[in-house]
A and B are shown apart, each in its own frame.
Chain A
Amino acid sequence: MPDTLRLAFAIAAKDIRLELRSRTALLSAIVFSALVLVVFNFARDPTALAAIDLAPSVLWITFAFGAVIALNRAFYVERENAALDGILMAPVPRSALYVGKLLANLAFVGVVEAVALPLFVLFFNVSMGHALPGILGVTALATVGFVAVGTIFSAMVVRTRFAELMLPVLLLPFMVPPLVGAVQVTARLLAGRPLSEMEGWLRLLTAYDVVFVTLCILVFPAVVDE
């Protein structure tokens, strides 16, 4: 395994171990997502709109907000005792640091989504059966996109005064293309539409992922190196 990848996995493993020890960020993100779902449930008028029409939007807004909460922690742990300096001093390529953080964040957001999805099915009485593999697929695709951008922004905002506020302000415009694509595909999957109707959106999602992961790897050194 090339050095960079091995280092990335080491960094991701360290982050996961840390989060399993303290569990604070993960739990708050999960609870937050559950609360959002509950609010959505009470906020709508069951007679006016069928659940199935709202479902994709509700699901993805929940995922998006949960992700923002989870992403805030990414570089926060590196602030204590200047741990980030310890990594930057070592012979670690900056791309390895970024990919490691990205993998750890994907794991965390993945857990939040894995909890939110069944809750969503439960609260909104949405039958997913046939569409489940597709929905899992599009979830993975869209999540990579906004976690990639969120990872880099969380590295920046951790050094600002109002970090929790700055992250959504920066990140939400960038979340729109993956979100819109994900909602469109999810809606069509739930309605059992043919794949041809989703092609354009899937291509958008894939292109977004490829372009932004690459771009983030390229600009990440400018964020962490003085």
Chain B
Amino acid sequence: MTPDLSAARRTIRGGLALMTLGLLAAAGVYILALYYTPIEARQGLAQKIFYVHAPAAWGALVAFSVVGLASILYLWLHDERLDLFAASSAEVGVAFSMVMLTTGPIWGKTVWGTWWTWDARLTLTLFLFFLFVAYLALRAAVPDRGERARFSAVVGIMGLVLVPFIHLSVYLFRTLHPQPVLLKPSAPSMPPEMLRTLLSGMGAFTLLYLGFVMVRYGIACAANVRGGSSNAV
């Protein structure tokens, strides 16, 4: 077993450990959410989706920031591992954004009767989703490894710079087109139990994110060493 391969396997093992930890934590959070956290007055039981919805959005945002950061570092240092790490993060990020984008409408329809609203968080996550998809689609379309890494890094950096503009667009849009009062209880007015569950949810999802990315990164490194393209990122 070559050194690189054993390092990859260690990364996968570590990642699986973190993943298991994260899943247990997530299970714990859901028990917390369902049994110990008070039911929100206006929305009822359906509000509890929030404890999956918000941490998933958080996970997608973390994944996106990592892609952006790793892209900048790659263009500076030209270390192939940064490229593999960014790509792994993108794959995990697209999964998290899909969770957010499915729980959002379910929640919205149940509580307010609309599938979608153009509020800041939903819109931003939708864009993160599209950017992740574009990033991964580009990677799939470029056969040369060096080119793939360079192009992905450029898209990652440009995506990172785009996010504030999306924010600004949504903000301008909403101040000029007032929307019905909606969605999550804002942090200050949240009772401490809810806040605690929310933060635990975010912690659990962060663990999950790290675990998933490490496993994916390990697999990509191993595929890299073997020179195959099936598990390549």
Do A's and B's CB atoms come within 8 Å in the complex? Answer: yes
The SS class assigned to the A binding surface is: helix
Known: A177-B168, A204-B168. A223 touches B142 (CB 8 A): no
Contact A170 B172 (CB under 8 A): no
Number of interface residues of A (CB under 8 A): 33
- Complex CA–CA separation, A161 to B147 (angstroms): 13
- Complex CA–CA separation, A48 to B158 (angstroms): 40
Contact B134 A223 (CB under 8 A): no
List chain A residues, Cβ under 8 A from B172: 181, 184, 200-201, 204
- Complex CA–CA separation, A222 to B76 (angstroms): 10
- Complex CA–CA separation, A160 to B138 (angstroms): 8
State which of A22-30, A32-40, A78-86, A207-215 sits at the interface with chain B: A207-215
The SS class assigned to the B binding surface is: helix
Contact A160 B130 (CB under 8 A): no
- Complex CA–CA separation, A216 to B176 (angstroms): 31
Among the listed A172, A184, A208, A215, which residue makes an inter-chain contact with B157, where contact means beta carbons less than 8 Å apart?
A: A215
List chain B residues, Cβ under 8 A from A204: 165, 168-169, 172
- Complex CA–CA separation, A197 to B173 (angstroms): 12
Interface centre among B137, B141, B166 (most CB of A within 10 A): B141
Known: A160-B138, A204-B169, A211-B161. A173 touches B127 (CB 8 A): yes
B112-136 Cβ-contact flags toward A at 8 Å (1 or 0)? 0000000000000001001101100
Contact A222 B150 (CB under 8 A): yes
A179-197 Cβ-contact flags toward B at 8 Å (1 or 0)? 0110010000000000001
Known: A181-B169, A222-B150. A169 touches B75 (CB 8 A): no
A-B contact pairs, 15 of them (CB 8 A): A156-B151, A157-B138, A169-B138, A170-B134, A173-B127, A174-B158, A177-B166, A197-B176, A200-B172, A201-B172, A215-B161, A219-B154, A219-B157, A223-B154, A226-B147
Binding site for B on A (CB under 8 A): 149, 152, 156-157, 159-162, 166, 169-170, 172-174, 176-177, 180-181, 184, 197, 200-201, 204, 207-208, 211-212, 215-216, 219, 222-223, 226
